[in-house]
Structure 1
Amino acid sequence: MGVLAYFGFRANGGPQVPEPAWLDDGDLPELPPPVLLRGFASVSSISFSADGTAMSTSHLRRTELDAFDPGSVRVWTLGQSRPRFTVDDPDQAHVAALSPDGQSVASDAPAPAEPPESGADPCLVDLWDAHTGQRTGRLHVPFVPRRARGHDPHVRSLAYSPDGRFLAAAATDRKVYVWDLTRDRPVVTALTGPRQSVGAVAFSPDGRVLAAGSMDHHAHLWIRTRGRFRYLAPLTGHTDCVDALAFTPDGEILATAGRDGTVLLWDVLRRARIAALTGHTAPVTAVSFGAAGALLATAAEDGTVRLWHTAAHRQLRILTEGLDGPPTTAFTPDGTRLITPTTPHRGLTVWDTRGWH
């Protein structure tokens, strides 16, 4: 009974997604002119403060060989065309996450192959002041010699818990690292379960469930009780790596996606698959819910960002085609704006979605 209460399920026991009112007449509304943020390298991750007033982005630079290298982290005040600051570091910035209170930004950092001379543990994550851009700390993991771990751990995804207490990192050494940031010296816990590299991580809106996607073709779930995370189960259904996932605002549905090009919707309480959304023709790299969970945006390496009706399990429209660079997308926390890459890749588009529901 306690689990039912914390997931917030309705009397019929299953998740329900509201119908957008504008679908009744069969015609999608015209989109208002989007806002363009231009003049920077390809975007690899987007995150928001809880109130939706601030946004962090990480960016990848193109190399002379037309590949992508680590680039920079930027923090924006939504509504302004220029970032508050930019952190440039050639050794990091694959991914970044903004804390719920908008005060701190976390970004990935390189782990050394051997222990530092000081005897300190290798770091995996740097913390930055979201107003000044000054580094405020480094988060470490217990050092394991390379010959024992097989490869260096690198972070592929970061997520704060909604209350800001925990920061989770998806790592290539098959673990999810979770730091308790309320301690004077953050304590790290290594969560196990995935059999291969972990590529995505997300907390449920109430912070009680942690989900991760892995190269083992599964999404994995942990539940938090009394500050500890306990492994629940894998979600099985994909045929390739799971690289993206997101919860609906009520936490009842989880969307997972990856290299098989399919988006799967899951009933979180029952850990059962609800539907498979097909249409992308290449790996899906980002998923995001908006409008109280009624709309789902997905970005894929086929160069498109697509909008889906969650309850009807059907595609509504292709928002963007021909994207050049790592595709990503994200709704603001209130679901009123959707961020997509521009075409070509030199910036971001901010869509006003208030007329879409």
Structure 2
Amino acid sequence: TIADASDDQTVNIWQRDGKWLRTLSGHQGTVRDVSFSPDGKIIATASFDHTVKLWRISDGTLIKTINAHSAEVYSVSWSADGQMIASGSADKTVKIWRVSDGQLLKTLSGHNGDVNSVSFSPDGQTIASGSADKTIKIWRISDGLC
């Protein structure tokens, strides 16, 4: 399965052979990033509407909307165990969320520009964030230290 993010506020889901499956609609701004859960059943989307949305891929159902940031959300990433997602935003923060209930677990502050990308380490102990401030920071999840 393949997904695309779009300026038209939607996400299209495609089969690997290029056959279109469905369109996910519900964001109120450009969709900037998409990320598949480790089990491939859920997609997380990051949007300029300040939200992260979780969608069931099999039927396109919106599972959860997280009012994630005070500015555009540029990036979203799943932890390897599928229990957390991280989001990066124009508000210069990285936030870590528990997937099961959408609870904010940590806010990581320290960038001086938009956070354009986030990625969990394979062992789930750290997050890397890339920013318009021309830095990459590595954060320890347990205590939020850079």
TM above 0.5, yes or no, is yes
Secondary structure of the residue aligned to 2:80 is coil
Alpha-carbon distance in structure 1 between the residues aligned to 2:42 and 2:112: 31
Match of 1:106 in 2: 3
Q: Which is greater in Rg?
A: 1
- After the TM superposition, which residues 65-84 of structure 1 pair with which residues of structure 2 at under 5 Å, given as runs? none
Who is 1:136 aligned against? 21
* 2:53/2:62 contact within 8 Å kept: no
Deviations 1:37-67 (A, max 9, x none): xxxxxxxxxxxxxxxxxxxxxxxxxxxxxxx
RMSD across aligned positions (CA): 1.6
Deviation of 1:188 (Å):
3.8
Distance 2:50 2:60 in 1: 24
User: Would you say 1:216 and 2:91 are equivalent positions?
Assistant: yes
**How far 1:181 sits from its partner (Å)?**
2.7
Q: Which residue of 2 aligns with 1:265?
A: 138
Alpha-carbon separation, structure 2, partners of 1:192 and 1:271: 21
Correspondence for 1:177 among 44, 53, 66: 53
Shift of 1:229: 2.2
Contact 2:12-2:22 within 8 A present in 1 as well: yes
Q: What SS does structure 1 have at the residue aligned with 2:99?
A: strand
Distance in 2, Cα, partners of 1:200 & 1:240: 14
Q: Residue 206 of structure 1 corresponds to which residue in structure 2?
A: 81
Give per-residue Cα distances to partners, 1:176-219, cap 9 Å, x unaligned: 1111235x452242111310000111001111110010000100
User: Hey, what does 1:166 align to over in structure 2?
Assistant: 42
- SS of 1:271's partner is coil
Alpha-carbon displacement from aligned partner over 1:276-321 (angstroms, at most 9, x marks no partner): xxxxxxxxxxxxxxxxxxxxxxxxxxxxxxxxxxxxxxxxxxxxxx
Tell me how far apart the structure 2 counterparts of residues 175 and 188 of structure 1 sit (CA, whole Å).
Answer: 13
Match of 1:257, SS state, is: strand
Question: CA contact under 8 A between 2:6 and 2:32: conserved in structure 1?
Answer: no
Gaps of 5+ in 1: 1-103, 112-122, 143-151, 274-357
Classify 1:206/1:270 alpha carbon distance in 2 versus 1 (closer, same or farther; 3 Å). Answer: same
TM-score by length of 2: 0.92
- Displacement, 1:240? 0.8
Alpha-carbon deviations, 1:139-166, whole Å to 9, x = none? 1217xxxxxxxxx511111100101121
Question: Structure 2 CA distance, aligned partners of 1:171 and 1:265?
Answer: 23
TM-score by length of 1: 0.39
Task: Count matched residues.
Answer: 146
Gaps of 5+ in 2: none
| Partners of 1:216 and 1:163 in 2: CA distance | 30
Shift of 1:257: 1.3
Equivalent residues of 1:213, 1:220 under 8 A apart: yes
Q: CA deviation at 1:110?
A: 4.5
Task: Give the structure with the larger helix fraction.
Answer: 1
Which structure has greater strand proportion?
2
Aligned partner letter, 2:62: V
Equivalent-residue separation in structure 1 for 2:137 and 2:60 (angstroms): 38
Percent of aligned positions with the same letter in both sequences?
27
